[in-house]
Amino acid sequence: MTNEEILEYIEKMESRERQNIPYSDLVKIVSSLSQDEIIKLSNIIGYPVFTRLCMGELKHKFILLQDGAAAIIVNAEGQILLQSRMDNDKWGLPGGCQELGERFEDTIIREVKEETNLDITEDNLELIAVVSGNSRKNEYPNGDVVINNTALYCVKDYSGTIKWDSESKNMKFFSLDNLPVKQNDPDLIDIYLKELVRSK
């Protein structure tokens, strides 16, 4: 198979299959790829998963630094959109990890579309803060531990109909005085609330 055929084959795999490519197979595949092809493979698999696959037996022990973006999507009533996450049963903001070569603006536009089905443009993005540090530490049920550097955006103008993907169990708008107790991103929401008070 050519490198292009290999990448096409991996792209057609189910997500779970891509996440379980044996380390020995991955070594053979990556060894034959150019830098641009490695970037393409990383973006097919997803950068954090690809990074962990490259670590072999240490993949669940290594604490990974991740860059990403999250969105506070605000409706006309001032409510914010939260998703009930499938992996940890907590309510969180739409968002996700940056892929290789992406700008943060590209990341949040892509993630909002994938997770909510809503369309936003770069003109709709208002950067609230870049959030880093221990408040961004996250532990996943499979044992992975990450610390996120997150570009937090506010979005008040969007189009489309909300429809969630397999990462979510539910998705709805919440009033700021009636937020769910089990939150995935309480630090980000707190920054947004402080920004609201500051801007008044």
For residue 124, the model assigns a pLDDT of: 94
Q: Which long-range contacts (CB under 8 A, 24 or more apart) does 10-19 make?
A: 10/41, 10/44, 10/45, 11/44, 18/44, 18/45, 18/46, 18/49, 19/45, 19/49, 19/53
Rounded to whole angstroms, the Cα distance separating 173 from 93 reads: 11
Q: 188: closest CA among 142, 127, 144? A: 127
CATH class of the domain defined by 64-199: alpha beta
- Sign of the torsion formed by the C-alpha atoms of 34, 36, 42 and 44: negative
What does the longest C-alpha to C-alpha distance in the chain come to? 61
For residue 174, the model assigns a pLDDT of: 96
For residue 38, the model assigns a pLDDT of: 95
Q: 91: closest CA among 197, 196, 189, 200? A: 189
Listed by start position, the domains of the chain span 3-58, 64-199
Tens place of pLDDT for every residue, the chain, 200 residues? 899 999 999 999 998 899 899 999 999 999 999 999 999 999 999 998 899 999 888 888 889 999 999 999 999 999 999 999 877 788 999 999 999 999 999 999 999 999 999 999 999 999 999 999 988 898 887 788 899 999 999 999 999 999 987 778 889 999 999 999 999 889 999 999 999 888 87
Matching residue, tokens 């630090």: 187
* pTM score, whole prediction: 0.86
For residue 184, the model assigns a pLDDT of: 87
Rounded to whole angstroms, the Cα distance separating 89 from 80 reads: 18
